[in-house]
Amino acid sequence: MNDLSLKGVARKYAGETGSFSVKDDILNGTGSLRTRLEALAEEEISFGVSECIYGWTAAFEQVWTHVTVRIDLDPDAGITASTVNSLQTTWENGIESTWSDQWATSRGGELPCPFTFEVRWVGSNEHHEVRIRPGAARSNMTTWDTLDSGAVAAHEYGHMLGHVDEYPDSNCPDRDPVNTGIVMDDNSANVPSRLLDPFADRLGTGLRSA
């Protein structure tokens, strides 16, 4: 967890306006400010996505400018624990470096909070279950393979956040836009601001460069 905006969280989630007392209005007299702010700002987000012939459910947790996706990996028989371990490192690095610290949000006079993205590998309470099969194969949001790079994982993570594909697909001749050169097109580490707009909109703030 990096930055939390005290004023931003208090305004949005505690209904505070104007000047307020951290001790009386936010902490209620006791506890850690960060713990209290995180609890106020924590939102479990889930919504249906439909594009062309494809449909799925986006799901993640947003705590102010920090987004976490909990993934339960389900490897096929014969894929060893050490292989899974090494894939987790590759995928986590690819996902977090692609999505994090590209954009930030703030209002006038407040410190900008960079948006950061995390993947957490879990055995229960997951947002998404992902099968791992032997590669090379054709991956999608819920089926990855042992040869998938961090860049592929970053693309599939984008679907979990609710983003659609931007590459040409003969099954979807009307898809628009395509060939955009971003993570949802060709897996490049390019995240334009429009992909972060929904996260800033949820906070009621605008985007700026991180």
Binding interface with Zn ion (CB under 5 A): 165
The residue (of 26 and 153) whose beta carbon lies closer to Zn ion is 153
Expressed in angstroms, the distance from the first to the final Cα of the chain is 15
Q: How far is the CB of 159 from Zn ion (least distance, A)?
A: 6
Amino acid sitting at position 167: Y
The least distance separating Zn ion from the CB of residue 165, rounded to whole angstroms, comes to 4
Task: Output the residue with the shortest Cβ distance to Zn ion.
Answer: 165
Q: What minimum distance in Å lies between the beta carbon of 96 and Zn ion?
A: 19
Quick one: tokens of 139? 């991956």
CB of 103 to Zn ion, least distance (A): 21
- Rounded to whole angstroms, the Cα distance separating 120 from 118 reads 6
Between 96 and 165, CB nearer to Zn ion: 165
Q: Residue 23: CB partners within 8 Å, gap ≥ 6?
A: 29
Which residues have C-beta within 8 Å of that of residue 78, sequence separation ≥ 6?
134
CA–CA gap between residue 183 and residue 163 (Å, rounded): 10
Which CB sits closer to Zn ion, 66 or 155?
Answer: 155
Least CB distance to Zn ion at residue 54 (A): 9
Q: Which is nearer to Zn ion, 72 or 186 (CB)?
A: 186
The sign of the CA dihedral 179, 183, 188, 192 is: positive
